[in-house]
Amino acid sequence: MSQLKYTLYSDGASNIVLKPILDWLLRQYLPQSAINGDWADLRLLRNPPPRSNIPERIKWSVKLYPCELLFIHRDAEGYLPDQRISEINEAVQTAINNNYISSTLPVISIVPVRMLEAWFLFDIPAIRRAAGNPSGSQLIALPTFNTLENLPDPKAILHNLLRVASGLSGRRLASFNPHLTFHRIPSFIDDFGRLHGLSAFQKLENDIRQIIPSLNLI
């Protein structure tokens, strides 16, 4: 069986939730391969580079987590996705010019139109289970799917839905941590195919499809 080792670099630890999505996507195109991915945890460094120094952070991501394929995630937030992609491409080129990474290392950018949390606003049972209340009857009013990429603050919406889904109140609700709970959602989703309707996900899938033939899988 062939193997693919990939590394995911992102600005924050919460974005590790991308790994199950990447694993699922890669398995669609490499069903006979073992997929092994790591999130680049630069907190392991004594003096990690600042988030503003993306080339340096790319260098350490690959150095600490060697790979055959590198994913770089950044939310678009207040920028156009193309602007973020250009920033990533420039950072990658700087990393190559400085011999931080090989020019032959395939790199794929992941840029949700606003925030990654929008990619998890489609599965009510997963939200209920992540909130620790799988049999709850609270109303979970998801945004209309075709509006997900236009939501101004999908993180706030998702966190609020997790609070509602928990069924908690009073002090227990006050101590409920939606940031940690968010990390649990992808573990309760078996099929991310619904995301094909999002433009940023379509781009990610197309990039994966195009780059796979160039991978030297053993």
- pLDDT tens for 127-185 read 999 999 999 999 999 999 999 999 999 999 999 999 999 999 999 999 999 999 999 99
* Mean pLDDT for all residues in the chain: 95
* CA nearest to 71, candidates 24, 43, 106: 106
20 and 75 in a common domain: yes
124 and 100 in a common domain: no
CATH of residue 71's domain is 3.40.50
Q: What is the pTM of this model?
A: 0.94
**Does some domain include residue 177?**
yes
* CA nearest to 207, candidates 52, 55, 6, 39: 6
* CA nearest to 168, candidates 120, 141, 124, 136: 136
- Domains: count for the chain: 2
Amino acid 70 reads: L
124 and 86 in a common domain: no
57 and 74 in a common domain: yes
125 and 87 in a common domain: no
Q: Give the C-alpha separation, 199 to 140, whole Å.
A: 25
Residues comprising the chain, all counted:
218
Domain carrying residue 43? 2-113+198-214
The residues, ordered by sequence, that sit 6+ positions from 26 with a Cβ below 8 Å of its Cβ are: 4, 6, 33, 35, 208
The pLDDT of residue 218: 59
Tell whether the torsion through CA atoms of 123, 126, 132 and 134 is positive or negative. positive
202 and 104 in a common domain: yes
Kindly state the average pLDDT of the residues 28-43.
95
